[in-house]
Amino acid sequence: MAVKEINENSKLSLGVEFGSTRIKAVLIDDVQNVVASGSYEWENQLEDGYWTYSMDDVIVGLRESYKQLKNEVYEKYKFVLTKIDAMGFSAMMHGYLAFNEADKLLVPFRTWRNATTAQAEEKLTEVLKFNIPQRWSVAHLYQAILNDEDHVTDISYITTLAGYVHWLMTDKKVIGVGDASGMFPIDPNTKSYNESKLEIFNNLEECKNLPWKLKDILPSVLHAGEVAGVLTEAGALLIDPDGDLLAGSLFCPPEGDAGTGMVATNSVRSKTGNISAGTSVFAMVVLENELKQVYPEIDMVTTPCGDAVAMVHANNCSSEINAWVGIFKEFLDASGIQMPVDELFKVLFNQASTGDTDAGGLLSYGYLSGENITKVPEGRPLLVRTPQSRFNLANLIRVQLYTAFGALHIGMKTLTQKEQVKLEKIFAHGGIFKTEGVAQQILASSINTPVSVMSSASEGGAWGIALLADYLTHAKNGIELKDYLEDTVFINEAIIEKAPVWSEVAGFNKFARNYELGLPIELAAIKYLNHE
């Protein structure tokens, strides 16, 4: 829309997503165009053996990203932002935030990145007959019980990061079904927590005598299109300490980044899917039928409407690539050569496209943290080669792109080969795809499936949760989310597709064989290279 058409009377929706390295706020109009945005960079910290984020940073980042957005509105449209019709918050899925009756956080936030719940994962998967990954909230909770941690008996409420921020804004302890599906298994019929599995958990020997039942400490489950509360005056001041923002905005259910990624790529219909690549990488495939058996590398989660989704989640993706690009940036700076980081990524990625299809025999593990799919408990980034490997710049960058999708390749192979799941569309989004075609082509070859990138993909999950906020109006008229996306949001979307190339599929498969065979090298690095 033209600048003059945006004013204080426009219908506006706000989406804020707390990603692993950036908090992003996006404001959209009633035809789903982005009219302003803001962001805040943040990083997790490894404290006392757990990856965590400061809760103070949550508020600082929220305020700073909103302040930038608000300033952009004033600069571009010449009015002070006071009224937002609808809002939504999303964040990294899973993790563990536990509170007592006084709403005090009992232990620092334990994020999805922690690989500290192997014992809980194994036992819960066995008794629930449902894959419970280490990063799920219930795995963190049960591991705390197994560890006999003091705080367990004081728990009154547990939630995710998105659920926590939503609670601050609305005073409502609710969660979207997609995010809830990363806390505890969802019943495909009721599209809420599975009651029989809740009972199994409550009856576990270690849980029988606890002063609470699991369902009582979980947030209530809501679905896309349902109103999840309104912005309170305290919430408005928390976002905008200037006091300009008015209370009363409607809220959509808080969602995880998996759900907002599905929305942002129009991937909520069956046989469609999307891959989100950032610090972690995960594929979401909407299923026609339930899987025949339980697989440790495949999580069963849901769309924001509660439909069954197979999720392949790898903890590591782009961090090691970013580290290598940082080394090259240091070299340029030391040489007195000025080059923006985005341009450096483009140069290096384009060079990677000229490398050997098997990355010259190089082997890399970009593991900054443990990797659930390959059963590696801790991170030790490695680059390994033989004297015969073709070690040059193109292959060095290419192998970093290969390893970014290495664990994902293993999980997707299970889904497509063992379960014979058919995919019609896979959409990809994330910063790794900014250099047109390079990472996209490698991803297509790694999963042997055409991969599409939309022109709007760079807006990411913040735009996705803003769309879910905007959808509240359309849901009142009986329009389903999949139709809202197909017929309203993405009707004229520009799409670039890359199909697998046979020679690159063969080359990636050669790398992948070495990747799996070489895992003992990674385990040895953990054993002999400690943190001290």
* Ordered DSSP codes for 434-492: -STTHHHHHHHHHHTS-EEEETTGGGHHHHHHHHHHHHHHHHTTT--HHHHIIIIISTT
**Predicted pLDDT of residue 290:** 80
338 inside domain: yes
Residue 332: inside a domain: yes
Give the pLDDT confidence of 469-491 residue by residue, as tens digits: 999 999 999 999 999 999 999 98
pLDDT in tens, 399-436: 999 999 999 999 999 888 889 888 777 998 888 998 98
Length of the chain: 532
Residue 345 domain-assigned? yes
What's the pLDDT at 271? Answer: 80
Q: Please tell me the predicted confidence (pLDDT) of residue 10.
A: 84
- What is the pLDDT at residue 459? 64
Q: What is the mean pLDDT of the chain?
A: 93
**What is the predicted pLDDT for the residue at 1?**
40
Q: Say if 43 falls within a structural domain.
A: no
In the beta sheet, which residues pair with residue 45?
Answer: 52
Give residue 4's pLDDT: 42
Phi, psi of 235 (to 5 degrees): -65, -40
Q: With beta carbons less than 8 A apart as the criterion, state whether 133 and 139 touch.
A: yes
Which residue range forms the structural domain that includes residue 398?
319-365+381-404+509-528
Q: Residue 157 corresponds to which amino acid?
A: Y
In a domain, 352, yes or no: yes
Residues in the chain with pLDDT < 70?
A: 1-5, 456-459, 531-532
Count of domains for the chain: 1
Q: What is the pTM of this model?
A: 0.82
Confirm whether 396 is domain-assigned: yes
pLDDT at 531: 61
